[in-house]
Structure 1
Amino acid sequence: MKRNHFLQGMALALCAVAAPAAFAQTYPSKPIRLVVPFPAAGATDLFARTLSQKMGEKLGTTIVIDNKPGAGGAIGSDLAAKAPADGYTLLLATTSTHSIGPAINPRLPYDTVRDFTPIAHVGDAPSIMLVPNTSPAKTVREWIDFAKTNPGKLNYASSGNGTIVQLTAELFKSQAGVFVTHIPYKGTALAIPDLISGKVDVLFDSLPTGMPHVRDGRLRALGVTSLKRSALAPDLPAIADTLPGFESNTWFGLYGPKGLPPELVARVNTAANQALADPDVRDKLSRLGIEPTTSTPSQLATMVAQDAAKWKKIITDRKITGD
């Protein structure tokens, strides 16, 4: 009797070990849903559609985009967190959902570490520092000096309270030691006319929306917010050249629900990295103002933890709240 119990236990243990491996060999056997927690036609959605097509080819299946916008990305993120951990529901997370959101809203229905499985860091979108053509500053250093000689007289625009645009400006203020007044708009597109006219003194905008105005001669770009010069705007110096360590990117990362089997994580990570190496994908992302990246799951987790800590400090120190 004891021997039979032992053999039955061994059989169950072997089945438990073999089941994930067998499942990984057949995965995926149906379409994968990629939750995009923002509206269709936005930057995150366009990135998801560009990446998912090539990723699907690498995995041998179709990846279906499921837009679930609302609450700064929290609605879609919560949906993905509560999905079965079978690899058929993934999330394209961003700085808003996993770095800024938890600090702005501590009552989020999900925990960014406990409730998700990191898969891959897939892209970064740096911003550029824009000023009117009438600004006396032609470099980042000159603008800082100008602000210091005019304390409280200058202002900056943002796309709203608690957004990456505001936080980038507040990070800049903190590191540069300047006082500049915040003027929130409902999107940077509404702030551009006031920046061109000189009613606003500075704006940290995305490359795709800001650079056309620079090329047309209506605005001046002083620097890029990536740690080093960006391949998307190679003529612009990094703000970090003047303020060492300054960096602000909107990052994009693939996640699954908690408990996603390591074998599936590896499959999806490999497919994402292979897709991002494709020249056509890289070209399309470049036009969106996104620099493709590749990473291991642990590298994504480390990057997000550091990014979240940085923004939490700015949000706490500056008493920033969301709209």
Structure 2
Amino acid sequence: MEDAVRISTLAAAAATPLTDPRRRTLLRGLIALGMGAAASPLYAGNGWSARPIRLVVPTPPGGGTDLFARTLAAALGRALDQTIVVDNKPGANGIIGNDAVAKASPDGHTLLFTYAAAVVINQTLQPKLPYDGLRDLLPVAQVGAGGNFLVVTPDFPARTLKAFVEQVRKRPDAYDYGSWGIGSGGHLTMAALAMQTGLRLRHVPYKGVAPILADLQGGVIKAAFVDTSSSLPLIRAGKLRALAVSGTRRAPATPEVPTMTEQGYPFDTDSWYGLFAPAGTSAAIVQRLNAEVNRLLADAAMRERFLQLNMGMAPPKTAEQFAQTVRADVAVWGKVIRANNISVD
């Protein structure tokens, strides 16, 4: 409509004599139309304006979530012809970063790349969340599926999960284990194992996986649950020993590490990473993001990168199927939290 008005005004001005005062009025109108067009957002023709997309990651740089976020951001930015800037906002088991996105404008320019526990566990564990994870965060696409490693230091007297359980039973309350926060996936996975076996260990919560790995190497703690990506170099170097992986499948780069279930301690809930948007984001943007992420995850180069980072690939899901996964996992982890009386107090 503005283009039609601009053309009409230009034609009228051209047809008006130079000495006619009306010509100046028409030209002023034409200038105003041009300035208005220049002041309006410039859209790239793909549903987004030309300004960058901010991808919030609720963990420190260097951990598994950050590694996958940056891998996806680079590829997704090329696919959308957009600049995507990774913004790390760690703390409070993901709540700080999640909250920033939950309260952001739903225009497609602020997205969240997070890990499962930060959404599905916090929903039950944190009764005073500053947002509602099921209402205020819109699932867009699931990225990967797998588990976390139970690792020990090389001098720990166990090479299997069964031997670990037996050793800890011999010395109740003698060992500390680390996870990336109260109510994290690592914390609750150990709680689930304790429910089955009666283990008693002291939980040491950290603000991320990187400091856990540092303290394991320094001998501060002897055991921990950690992600399967950032811990991989240390495992391969013999500086840590992986006893088991949680979830339904072995990690692709470490097929020698059996699952907890295979070793007689059933645990059938997968961890995942996911892309979320603020509630109210248009269906067109959500569908475009979902389609692009699923296309990227099917690409051979991306699959190879995921193999290098030791993450299994989940079957592609629509945004609604991913939302169903989120709701189901909230129910599963809620039972573990309530059964163990876990709280943040």
Q: Are positions 1:308 and 2:330 aligned together? A: yes
User: Given the alignment, which residue of 238, 258, 279 partners 2:259?
Assistant: 238
Higher normalized contact order (CA 8 Å, seq sep 6+, divided by chain length): 1
1:7-65 Cα offsets, whole Å, 9 max, x none, are: xxxxxxxxxxxxxxxx9974134332222233344432332221012112222322222
Alignment match, 2:151: 130
User: In the aligned structure 2, how far is the partner of 1:25 from the partner of 1:221?
Assistant: 48
Distance 1:182 1:310, change over 3 A: farther
Structure 1 letter corresponding to 2:216: I
Alignment match, 1:192: 216
* Greater mean alpha carbon deviation, residues 295-304 or residues 34-43: 34-43
SS at match of 1:113: helix
* Greater mean alpha carbon deviation, residues 114-123 or residues 210-219: 210-219
Residues matched between the structures, number: 296
Structure 2 letter corresponding to 1:231: P
Alignment match, 1:182: 202
Normalising by structure 1, we get a TM-score of 0.78
Distance 1:312 1:155, change over 3 A: farther
User: In the aligned structure 2, how far is the partner of 1:72 from the partner of 1:156?
Assistant: 19
User: In the aligned structure 1, how far is the partner of 2:303 from the partner of 2:243?
Assistant: 25
- Displacement of 1:172 in angstroms is 1.4
Distance 1:209 1:70, change over 3 A: closer
CA contact (8 A) 2:186 2:225 kept: yes
User: In the aligned structure 2, how far is the partner of 1:141 from the partner of 1:108?
Assistant: 37
Alignment match, 1:12: none
Structure 1 letter corresponding to 2:341: K
Alignment match, 1:224: 245
CA contact (8 A) 1:50 1:285 kept: no
Alignment match, 1:35: 56
**Structure 1, unpaired ranges of 5+:** 1-22
- Displacement of 1:270 in angstroms is 0.6
CA contact (8 A) 1:82 1:257 kept: yes
Distance 1:92 1:213, change over 3 A: closer
- Displacement of 1:165 in angstroms is 2.1
Q: Are positions 1:58 and 2:79 aligned together? A: yes
Alignment match, 2:343: 321
CA contact (8 A) 2:153 2:216 kept: no
Identical-residue share of aligned pairs (%): 34
Q: Are positions 1:79 and 2:100 aligned together? A: yes
User: In the aligned structure 2, how far is the partner of 1:66 from the partner of 1:211?
Assistant: 24
Q: Are positions 1:95 and 2:116 aligned together? A: yes
Q: Which one has a bigger Cα radius of gyration?
A: 2
- Displacement of 1:156 in angstroms is 4.4
Distance 1:263 1:193, change over 3 A: closer
Q: How does 1:210-289 map to 2 (within 5 A)?
A: 210-243=231-264, 245-247=266-268, 249-289=270-310
Structure 1 letter corresponding to 2:99: D
CA contact (8 A) 2:146 2:251 kept: no
Aligned-residue RMSD, C-alpha: 3.0
Alignment match, 1:114: 135
1:186-230 Cα offsets, whole Å, 9 max, x none, are: 4422441476x9x73x43222345444443445433221121222
Normalising by structure 2, we get a TM-score of 0.74
